């Protein structure tokens, strides 16, 4: 992004929105029960419960200059969101191919199911119920139980939650 001058309030708003994004991401499962899809997030440590987003303000009566300033803050937030999505997800899916033998997913592992049409915080959360091995003995596909039912996905569309 180009250099942008923000007022204190605009910068504060942008940082609070970024903080909400970071504090909403799932860290680890709350229990080892395979039927439990609840997860622990940084917001649990801060406010004791999952963070819910604040509704967007209604902007139909705002003047043009205020809308332009809001748009600038929104563009900064979107820029952060795009980088966060790309970098955080690639961190979750680090591949050690050709370097070391990778860890296969195990039954009961909590995962995010990657969907190219949705942002990461809206991806389905699920638990691996079965893994399918290929002819080479490596797991390539897993069945994942989500709130929408059991789905089958390739490993490159599954992001295991980091164990903390």
pTM exceeds 0.75 for this model: no
Q: How far is CA 11 from CA 6, 25, 64, 69, 95, in A?
A: 6, 22, 19, 11, 36
Q: Which residues have a Cβ under 8 Å from the Cβ of 126 and sit 6 or more positions away?
A: 37, 110, 111, 112, 113, 144, 145, 146, 147, 151
Residue 131 CA to residue 146 CA, distance in Å, equals: 15
Nearest to 40 by CA among 90, 103, 91, 110: 110
Print pLDDT tens along the chain (164 aa): 455 677 888 888 888 888 887 888 888 787 777 777 778 888 888 887 777 654 455 555 555 566 777 788 888 888 887 787 777 766 766 654 434 455 667 888 888 888 878 777 778 889 999 998 878 877 788 999 998 899 999 888 888 877 65
Residue 30 CA to residue 41 CA, distance in Å, equals: 9
Residue 131 CA to residue 89 CA, distance in Å, equals: 21
Which pLDDT belongs to residue 92? 67
7-52 per-position pLDDT tens digit: 888 888 888 888 887 888 888 787 777 777 778 888 888 887 777 6
CA dihedral sign of residues 53, 54, 58, 62: negative
Nearest to 126 by CA among 145, 105, 140, 149: 145
């Amino acid at each position: 992004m180009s250099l942008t001058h923000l007022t204190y309030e605009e910068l504060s708003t942008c940082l609070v929105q970024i903080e909400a994004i970071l504090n909403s991401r799932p860290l680890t499962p709350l229990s080892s029960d395979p039927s439990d899809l609840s997860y622990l997030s940084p917001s649990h440590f801060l406010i004791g419960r999952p963070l819910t987003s604040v509704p967007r303000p209604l902007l139909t009566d705002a003047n043009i200059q205020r809308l332009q300033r809001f748009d600038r803050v929104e563009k900064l937030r979107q820029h952060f969101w795009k980088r966060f999505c790309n970098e955080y997800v690639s961190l979750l899916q680090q591949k050690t191919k050709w370097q070391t033998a990778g860890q296969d997913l195990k039954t009961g592992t909590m995962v995010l199911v990657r969907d190219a049409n949705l942002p990461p915080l809206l991806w389905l959360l699920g638990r691996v119920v079965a893994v399918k091995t290929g002819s080479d003995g490596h797991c390539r596909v897993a069945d994942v139980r989500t709130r929408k039912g059991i789905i089958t996905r390739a490993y490159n569309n599954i992001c295991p939650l980091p164990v903390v």
